[in-house]
Amino acid sequence: MVQIVGNSTERNPRPNSILKSGGRLVANVLDLLYPPQCGGCHKWGVGLWCASCDRAVIRFSGSQAERELITEKQSAITAVSAALFGATLREGIHAFKYNATPGMATPFAVMMAPALGGVLAQFEANDQPLLVPVPLHSGRQRERGYNQSEVLARSISINNPGLRLCTALVRTRSTRQQARLTPDERRQNVNGAFSAGAREFSNQSVILIDDVLTSGATLCECADALITAGARRIVAFTLARADM
């Protein structure tokens, strides 16, 4: 059955390409009707993330990009972040999460690319770490339509085919939004909220992907779930970090 479907697609690639060009046509017409608005400065017709907003973002370089996080179970995790969570990037990430613009993952993955070398340097040379997005609870993901960390991880994976996307880390219960909580409340809020299977993560290396590093409570809780599942090395990689 699978083979027949595969063969027929190979023999007749045409419907597929018509569908693809149809998709582009629809996208172009939509662009004319609703020109993309920049998530940072809210100007119309300049794309989802404009050059001027991109220039306003402060990038971290070298060891400035790194932080050490200590998890509840006392594991030390290196977190690498690409840029400062300043006003423009804050606005952009807010739009990325709440304005139904998963396409912003493309420019944001480009912003993360220069910091990827610092992430990979934390692993053995022959290691092939999995890209694991911090999950949303299924209810929130349905509401939003996508998980911003997952689309970021997918974009990074497309640009780096050696790094495979893995979505087997799950959020087992709904949590309150961390932004309004104190550091202690943040830790309690996410305590035990994640689960990872040994089948996927036993002896695996992991790059844990999230949009913003603030207190690190969520990343630490994810790391502990991955370590419990047998992951052997974990490095967190975020687009933004709240402190210099």
Q: Cβ of residue 9: shortest distance to Zn ion, in angstroms? A: 41
Report which DSSP code applies to 60: P
**Nearest to residue 71, comparing CAs of 244, 227, 230?**
227
Q: Cβ of residue 90: shortest distance to Zn ion, in angstroms? A: 13
Q: Which residues, listed in sequence order, are joined to residue 70 by a DSSP beta bridge?
A: 76
Q: CB-wise, 78 or 88, nearer to Zn ion? A: 88
Q: CB-wise, 92 or 102, nearer to Zn ion? A: 92
Q: CB-wise, 56 or 165, nearer to Zn ion? A: 56
Name the packing angle between helices 148-159 and 87-98 (round to 10°): 100
Q: Cβ of residue 144: shortest distance to Zn ion, in angstroms? A: 22
Q: CB-wise, 13 or 44, nearer to Zn ion? A: 44
Q: Which residues contact 222 (CB under 8 A, 6 or more apart)?
A: 132, 134, 169, 194, 208
Binding site for Zn ion (CB under 5 A): 38, 40-41, 50, 53
Q: Cβ of residue 243: shortest distance to Zn ion, in angstroms? A: 24
In angstroms, rounded to a whole number, what is the distance separating the alpha carbons of residues 142 and 96? 16
Strands (E), the chain: 66-70, 76-84, 130-133, 170-171, 194-195, 205-213, 233-241
Residue found under tokens 């880390």: 169
Tokens matching residue 218: 């969520």
Q: CB-wise, 110 or 170, nearer to Zn ion? A: 110
Q: CB-wise, 103 or 230, nearer to Zn ion? A: 103
In angstroms, rounded to a whole number, what is the distance separating the alpha carbons of residues 202 and 172? 20
Q: Let me know: does 78 contact 67? Beta carbons within 8 Å.
A: yes
Angle 179-181-185 from CA coordinates, rounded to 5°: 135
Q: CB-wise, 40 or 118, nearer to Zn ion? A: 40
Q: Are strands 233-241 and 205-213 parallel, antiparallel or unpaired?
A: parallel
**Count of C-beta atoms within a 10 Å radius of residue 51:** 11
Q: Cβ of residue 88: shortest distance to Zn ion, in angstroms? A: 7
